[in-house]
Amino acid sequence: MTSHSAIAPLKVGDEDFLVASMIERCPKTMMLRELTMNALEAARLAPENERLVEIRPYEHNGASKLVIWNTGTGMSALELHQMCDIAASIGKKKSLTGNFGMGAKVASLPSNQHGMRYRSCKDGRVSEVILCKREGAYGRLRRKDEDGEVHEVVDVTAAVVSDGCDISSDWTEVMLLGNRSEQDTVRDPYDGDPVQDTQWIATYLYHRFYRLPPGVRMVLKKGTNKLDGNRGFEPITARLERHFEKYETVTTLSGIKIHYLYDAPYDKATGHNRSISGAIASAVSTCAVVYRDEMYDVGKGRGWTQNAPIFGIPFGARHISVHIELPDDAPVISDGYRQFLRYAGGEQDQISTKDFAETVRDHRPIWLLDLIRSFAPESTSSNDIRDELQKLLNDLQVQRTSPRVKGSGPILAELGKGPGAESRGDGLGDSRLNGSGDPAGHKPRDLTAIPTGAKRADMFVNMERAPEIIPLHDDAEIEEKGVKGRAARYYIDTGQLFINMQYPAIEKMRALLEMEYASAADLDAMRILVQQNAERSIMLRVGRAVVYALAKQLMKEWDSVAVERALSPESLSVAADDYQDSLQTARRALGARLRVSKPGTDAEYSVALEDHQ
């Protein structure tokens, strides 16, 4: 016990409640991470060529139970007893930024209240303890021997040897017994809450562990992977050379490493990436923060492809992964349950991949930019719409919320006199406010001449730029950007506006206009023009909605959250739905091109409109 002379240490008034609250507040899905990390850390201390972690099934009382087994220094009966306490660990130094001494126990017990069995072999003796929940309290299970004596840790060496297990070297294993004796913890580790698919083990490991410790092998035994037989687990970094078509690591000035990975489409299975070949885990593209060989804030599938444009990847995100690796000495800390990373200073905000979006954009390799362009859909020019929107932005005097530096950088002026100037002798050319500086080296003699280093003035410095309009026609592209059933999605960080060209408002407008101009001499030309005008009208309506939403930044009553809502896909869809307001403009354009007036009276048109709707 630590002695304190200056203070009276705080005590725990209700120890059972404190332990239970720590355990049951832990996210269940951290269980596999904690158990695997303990196994990896132990295995890395084993002799070379003996560093092994195995994940395997085991039939226990008629039910399949998940077992995590590892080589490395084992624990004696006393060490195993001590290890079971909260905030206790064996052979590790505890710290608030490192080992807490409670991860595996706290993360596993909520889903294993029936029990989790630890066995450890040390110096040829195997000790066993079962942690569980009984009568509302968590602790070691007390068991009686043949003589009626109660034990918390028992010696099971004889039973282990009779089962054919090797005890010639140290090892440790944990078996997950679940919440019920009949629960299959290999397929259903969380007792149905949450439900897991058949490859949950490999997929979780693949999206958590970026590298394994040097020399450590991990094997998923038959029954714990989606393929037949025993399979070695390989993290992403171990699969780059053989399965990814191209990858590159760029190191920033701050020491952050950005890994850009291209996983080409798999020609043998439409919709998959090439790395799916022979994989025991998911092969979807990902975006993540990597810290000390672990992945955090992992975005995958649709969650990643929707956010990819802010990282400078508007197209092809299904095949492109971005991993932002922080230096080991980065000022970050893990949260209490290691689910998230947080900044060490200030309010310790949670770290997100989006925090590094600009850095990722700025360091994209040339080959990646070419690749992104190759995935871009072919579309007609919308420059005239963008020019119209830019004029509206300028008229509204909408300024950017913060200045954005141009990628081309400053323009440097050459030294020496410029046109329309004459020499005044030597001088530093530094005219100071108080008049005490050296005289300038040249003086102007022609007022119509532009001074040295001058260039055309930017009339709209820090003014908001009109959105870059990107129409989406393909089902996969629409799904990827998350605009199925919605008109558009706007990315304020990059100024890109993706518009769903399959949105119903376009089809409704097209059908009405085709009905009105059915008397045109050239029906094929009419249909093409009608389609173009319907698409242009929706793009313009959505674009104007974006402009007016950006203009709300000028009003103090509108905070950033309100502006984001106005720019949401739902708000832009509402703007697109009001396409009737654009019909008259489209009619004028069609009439001028087709030289046909809309037949019927306004009343007749109103009836037709109602019938069509």
Mean pLDDT of the chain: 85
Is residue 462 pLDDT above 70, yes or no?
A: no
Q: Do both 170 and 124 map to the same domain?
A: yes
Mean pLDDT of 472-487: 92
Give a three-class secondary structure readout of 500-538. ECCCHHHHHHHHHHHHHCCCCCCHHHHHHHHHHHHHHHH
What was the pLDDT predicted at 419?
A: 47
What was the pLDDT predicted at 87?
A: 66
Q: Do both 240 and 171 map to the same domain?
A: no
User: Which range, of 320-329, 400-409, 557-566, averages the lowest pLDDT?
Assistant: 400-409
- From 328, 344, 375, the end of a domain falls on 375
Q: Do both 122 and 74 map to the same domain?
A: yes
Reported as a pLDDT band with limits 50, 70 and 90, residue 523 is: confident
Q: Do both 306 and 208 map to the same domain?
A: no
Residue type, 589: A
Q: What percent of the chain has pLDDT over 70?
A: 83
Reported as a pLDDT band with limits 50, 70 and 90, residue 103 is: confident
Residue type, 24: E
Q: Do both 208 and 248 map to the same domain?
A: no
Residue 413 lies in a domain: no
Any idea of the CA torsion for 142, 145, 151, 155, to the nearest 10 degrees? -120
> Considering its fold, how many domains does the chain have in total?
3
Whole-number Å distance between alpha carbons of 263 and 208: 19
Whole-number Å distance between alpha carbons of 143 and 106: 22
Mean pLDDT of 216-225: 96
Q: In this predicted model, what pLDDT tens digit does every residue of 277-298 receive, in sequence order? A: 888 888 899 999 999 999 999 9
Q: Do both 476 and 345 map to the same domain?
A: no
| 8 A C-beta contact, residue 332 and residue 297 | no
Task: Output DSSP code: residue 108.
Answer: H
Q: Do both 331 and 194 map to the same domain?
A: no
Is residue 274 pLDDT above 70, yes or no?
A: yes
Burial class, 527, CB count within 10 angstroms (exposed 0-12 / middle 13-18 / buried 19+): middle
List, as one string, the DSSP characters of 232-290: E---HHHHHHHH-SEEEEEE-TTS-EEEEEE-PBPTTSTTSBGGGTT-SS----EEEEE
Mean pLDDT of 200-221: 96
Residue 513 lies in a domain: yes
- From 375, 392, 423, the end of a domain falls on 375
Whole-number Å distance between alpha carbons of 351 and 313: 21
| 8 A C-beta contact, residue 55 and residue 67 | yes
Residue 412 lies in a domain: no
Phi, psi of 563 (to 5 degrees): -65, -40
User: Which range, of 250-264, 408-422, 440-454, averages the lowest pLDDT?
Assistant: 408-422
Higher pLDDT, 405 or 515: 515
Whole-number Å distance between alpha carbons of 255 and 219: 33
Reported as a pLDDT band with limits 50, 70 and 90, residue 58 is: very high
Q: Which H/E stretch holds residue 83?
A: helix 77-83
Q: Do both 325 and 473 map to the same domain?
A: no
Q: Do both 249 and 127 map to the same domain?
A: no
Mean pLDDT of 57-75: 96
Whole-number Å distance between alpha carbons of 69 and 53: 6
Q: Do both 309 and 175 map to the same domain?
A: no
Any idea of the CA torsion for 228, 231, 235, 237, to the nearest 10 degrees? -100
Helices 523-551 and 504-516 pack at an angle, to 10 degrees, of 140
Give the dihedral sign, CA 85/90/93/97: negative
What was the pLDDT predicted at 48?
A: 93
What was the pLDDT predicted at 454?
A: 61
Give the dihedral sign, CA 195/201/205/207: negative
Whole-number Å distance between alpha carbons of 331 and 537: 50
The CA-atom distances, in angstroms, between 117 and each of 66, 84, 399 are 11, 11, 63
Mean pLDDT of 571-598: 86
Exposed e or buried b for every residue in 348-381, given b needs 16+ CB within 10 A?
A: eeebebeebbeebbebbeeebeebbeeeeeeeee
Burial class, 459, CB count within 10 angstroms (exposed 0-12 / middle 13-18 / buried 19+): exposed
Phi, psi of 346 (to 5 degrees): 60, -130
Whole-number Å distance between alpha carbons of 507 and 511: 6
CATH number at residue 324: 3.30.230
What was the pLDDT predicted at 176?
A: 98
Is residue 436 pLDDT above 60, yes or no?
A: no
Mean pLDDT of 179-183: 96
Higher pLDDT, 450 or 353: 353
Among 497, 489, 491, 488, smallest CA distance to 467 is for 497
Q: What is the largest CA-CA distance in the chain?
A: 113
Q: Do both 489 and 598 map to the same domain?
A: yes
Mean pLDDT of 575-584: 89
Residue 438 lies in a domain: no
Is residue 151 pLDDT above 80, yes or no?
A: yes
Mean pLDDT of 372-387: 81
pTM: 0.79
What was the pLDDT predicted at 271?
A: 77
Upper half-sphere CA count for residue 536 (Cβ side, 13 Å): 20
CATH number at residue 198: 3.30.565.10
Contacts of 479 (CB under 8 A, 6+ apart): 302
Q: In this predicted model, what pLDDT tens digit does every residue of 526-542 receive, in sequence order? A: 899 999 999 999 999 99
Higher pLDDT, 96 or 129: 129
- From 186, 220, 254, the end of a domain falls on 220
Is residue 361 pLDDT above 90, yes or no?
A: yes
Mean pLDDT of 138-152: 93
Q: In this predicted model, what pLDDT tens digit does every residue of 90-102 receive, in sequence order? A: 655 544 455 444 5
Mean pLDDT of 235-256: 95
Q: In this predicted model, what pLDDT tens digit does every residue of 14-56 receive, in sequence order? A: 777 877 888 888 888 999 999 999 999 999 999 999 999 999 9
Is residue 425 pLDDT above 60, yes or no?
A: no
Whole-number Å distance between alpha carbons of 291 and 252: 16
Whole-number Å distance between alpha carbons of 171 and 124: 10
Q: Do both 202 and 255 map to the same domain?
A: no
Structure tokens at 38: 């303990």
Residue 498 lies in a domain: yes
Query: Which residue(s) pair with 150 in the sheet?
Result: 144
Exposed e or buried b for every residue in 84-112, given b needs 16+ CB within 10 A?
A: beeeebbeeeeeeeebbbbbbbbbbbbbb
Structure tokens at 97: 């930024």
Structural domain including 315 reads 235-375
Residue 3 lies in a domain: no
Residue 179 lies in a domain: yes
Residue 58 lies in a domain: yes
Reported as a pLDDT band with limits 50, 70 and 90, residue 228 is: confident
| 8 A C-beta contact, residue 566 and residue 544 | no
Q: In this predicted model, what pLDDT tens digit does every residue of 298-345 receive, in sequence order? A: 999 889 999 999 999 999 999 999 999 999 999 999 887 888 999 998
| 8 A C-beta contact, residue 535 and residue 385 | no
